[in-house]
Amino acid sequence: MEMWFTEKQTENVGITCKTGKTIHMEKTEYQDLALIDTLQFGKMLVLDGTVQTTEKDEFIYHEMITHVPLFTHPNPKKVLVIGGGDGGTIREILKHPSVEKAVLVEIDNKVVEVSKKYLPTISCSLDDSRVSVLIEDGIKYVQNNKNEFDVIMVDSTDPVGPAVGLFAVDFYQAIYQALKEDGLFVAQTESPFYNNSLISNVYRDIQSVFPITQLYLCSIPTYPSGLWSFTMGSKKYHPLTVEQSNKAEIDTKYYTKEIHKSAFSLPKFVEDLL
Ligand code: AG3
């Protein structure tokens, strides 16, 4: 018998993958968590029915949420990740030799546990000595830390359930305060195809807090519409006028210096949302 998993991405569209084993399934304190084997994308982490990451295409998201901000900041030493319990963002952060400390604040310890057990190529850096993993509410953590971080990444789920507060102007204000005076942050901000009003609102809210606000794009096969956005808020550094020549080369599969620039070239319908 063939088995297929479908994420219902909108009321009218889904992505369907042929599956092997369901490796793990549980209801955690915060969400339904599943780890399933897919034939096309390898192991897939699913939260509340939505695809979070897969072994085969995770590099695109994790490189783009990480290297764009870290190559915009001239000397990032202390980095914070909100969410991202699978560890993919942390793995990429540690490729930057300037980084001395990376703090991951994930609300659901089960995401960390299951990723460590079944997704070793993604979670492999969570035990590094430069990393602290804290299981707590990211919003509270950000509110309680002032002037601490060079770069913050918001590696959240969709804006439903526990993640709603991560797409709010109060949170962007708290992030501003948690950053050092020349700090910057990036949030994953969903699909310009399906989440257009969310993107407009988030952009407006970030722009009301940060002097520099920029949206960039990449293609992620397993996410709704495949076209995915990130929004950067920065106090001082502009992602398109950075001097990159003095930075160490790092090993990547998607990110290049050219992609860093081209990702900010937006299709007209996306520009019109901003
Ligand atoms: N977080 C963003 C996932 C959003 C995908 N949405 C969906 N499939 N409906 C990814 C976490 C990876 N570290």
Query: Which of 86, 108, 155, 205 is the catalytic position?
Result: 155
> How many Å lie between the centroid of ligand 1 and the Cα of residue 51?
6
**155 classed as catalytic:** yes
How many of the other CB atoms lie within 10 Å of CB of 245?
6
> How many Å lie between the centroid of ligand 1 and the Cα of residue 253?
19
pLDDT for 183 equals: 98
pLDDT for 190 equals: 98
Q: Parse the chain into domains and list their residue ranges.
A: 3-51, 58-271
87 lines ligand 1 (CB under 6 A): no
Mean pLDDT for the chain overall: 96
- 139-143 contacts at long range (C-beta below 8 A, 24 or more positions apart): 139/165, 139/166, 139/171, 139/174, 141/80, 141/82, 141/105, 142/80, 142/82, 142/171, 142/174, 142/175, 142/178, 143/174
Read off the pTM.
Answer: 0.97
Architecture field, domain 3-51: Roll (2.30)
ipTM of the complex: 0.98
How many of the other CB atoms lie within 10 Å of CB of 266?
17
**Which residues of the chain register pLDDT less than 50?**
none
pLDDT for 1 equals: 86
CATH top-level class of 58-271: alpha beta
Full DSSP string of 16-64: EEEEEEEEEEEE-SSSEEEEEEETTTEEEEEETTEEEEETTTHHHHHHH
Measure the CA–CA gap between 113 and 192, rounded to whole angstroms.
32
pLDDT for 142 equals: 98
88 lines ligand 1 (CB under 6 A): yes
pLDDT for 242 equals: 79
Nearest atom within ligand 1 for CA of residue 58: 12
pLDDT for 245 equals: 64
Reported as a single tens digit per residue, the pLDDT across 58-71 is 999 999 999 999 99
> How many Å lie between the centroid of ligand 1 and the Cα of residue 127?
23
Measure the CA–CA gap between 110 and 252, rounded to whole angstroms.
28
131 lines ligand 1 (CB under 6 A): no
